[in-house]
Amino acid sequence: MPVAVVTDSTHYLPREIIADYEIHQVSLYVNDGGTLTREADMPNFHAFYEDLRTRSDLPTTSQPSPGDFIAVYKPLIEAGFDIVSVHLGAGISGTCDSARQAAAELTGDGSQRRIEVVDSASAAGGLALIVLAAASAARGGRDVEAVKARALAAVDDVKIWFSVDTLEYLRRGGRIGAAQAWLGSALKIKPILSFDEVITPVERVRTNRRAFERMVELLEERKQSGASAWVVQYVEVPELAEQMVQRGREIFGTDPIFCTEIGPVIGTHAGPGVLGVSGINPDLLEP
């Protein structure tokens, strides 16, 4: 039977790629002063981040409910699809738990359809590449087991790195993970972090320029390991992102799959000034 791929809003893929690959989406939420807004309905990220820079309290973010997932899953199940649902890492969000609750409700009592939930153990560009790997396999006509296997292979292969201007947003949002140990020197360093189930410290450097060059070196390492499909993401630093795109073109000889801005659910916790890169083996993006 055909397979539908579902994800959540924290991948920040371009809309045209979502449409082209027929990827279905469930949105996370931003709670700002008691107003709950679906991230997928927030096109103006700049206004959100300008406000974030000056406020003393942070907005909060929340996972979709099982009902949100059921609203997306049920029409797909009724149309005859099996589903592979790939989501934001369970180490920082309960999104996968909500998806599994919805899947259990819809596939009990002898249902012939399957819903397989995959924890990406990643976020943003890393999640996006894993979703694209699953969607590529689905578009190639593979069955639900093969699409799930492709997603899990991508989870093992994908690497993501990002620099942040300050650890303060991660600290205040409670998502700092193992980088907690760096807080004492936070004003003196520019942290480079990764995502491996939780936020993971990679390296501390002294300047923004050195952080940029170090991430260029990490992209070069990805190329050498065969992961020649790559992406760039950012929060409120489009010029720096374009510089990274230019350097990436020199390394890979190709354009990135995409270069996009990270949205409010992840951006609330990372803060303005984020620059991120991610890469994957292109074989995992084949049908």
- 22 and 141 within one domain: yes
**Chunked in runs of 10, what are the mean pLDDT values of the chain (287 residues)?**
95 97 97 90 91 88 97 96 97 95 89 94 97 98 98 97 84 57 58 85 88 95 95 97 98 98 94 95 97
pLDDT at 282: 97
Are 24 and 3 contacting, i.e. CB atoms less than 8 angstroms apart? no
Q: For position 204, what pLDDT does the model report?
A: 85
Residue finishing a domain among 102, 137, 156? 156
According to DSSP, residue 82 is labeled: E
Name the residue range of residue 220's domain.
Answer: 159-285
Do residue 60 and residue 9 come from a single domain? yes
- Helix 66-78 vs helix 95-107: crossing angle, to nearest 10: 40
What pLDDT was estimated at residue 115? 97
Who contacts 38 (Cβ-Cβ below 8 Å, separation ≥6)?
A: 9, 27, 28, 29
Same domain, 139 and 241: no
Among 274, 222, 281, 284, residue whose Cα is nearest residue 248: 222
Residue 135: its pLDDT value, please? Answer: 98
Q: How many domains does the chain have?
A: 2
pLDDT of residue 284: 98
User: Is the distance from CB of 64 to CB of 28 less than 8 angstroms?
Assistant: yes
From 94, 128, 156, give the residue that closes a domain: 156
Residues 149 and 15 in one domain: yes
Residues 6+ apart with CB under 8 A from 203: 191, 192, 214
